[in-house]
Amino acid sequence: MQEYPVKRGFTKDLRETIVEKLKEHFGTEISCEGEHYRISFGALKSLDVSPGTGGKTLVIDTESDISVNDDVILDTNRRFRRFLDDVTGYSTKERVKKAKTAEKK
């Protein structure tokens, strides 16, 4: 399970944004249990996304399917990174920097 900070301004309507961006980037059916949104796509057997405590973070739990070929893995990873960029408001580079800063604390 991984928790990602969400940029100020992106926290408003976070639940709607999660659903919208899952549809946009993965184009698959979304199942909803409370505040947890789940999909299965490509190299991901399960992708569970939910707003974190206070709605200022994004909590993601994944389960990988290692039986797929490399092209599917690369496509899935690319879509996942773009999804994170759009929902959190931070680029990959910014997320890494924030994670390193949080780790030092």
Long-range contacts of residues 6-13, Cβ cutoff 8 Å, at least 24 apart: 6/55, 6/56, 6/57, 6/58, 6/87, 6/88, 6/89, 7/88, 7/89, 7/90, 9/89, 10/87, 10/88, 10/89, 11/55, 11/56
The third-level CATH classification (topology) of the domain covering 2-93 is: TATA-Binding Protein (3.30.310)
Write out the chain's pLDDT in tens, 105 residues.
999 999 998 888 899 999 999 999 999 999 999 999 999 999 999 999 999 888 899 999 999 998 999 999 999 999 999 999 999 999 999 999 988 888 887
pTM of the model: 0.91
Query: Domain locations in the chain?
Result: 2-93
Residues 71 and 88: their CA atoms lie apart, in Å, by: 26
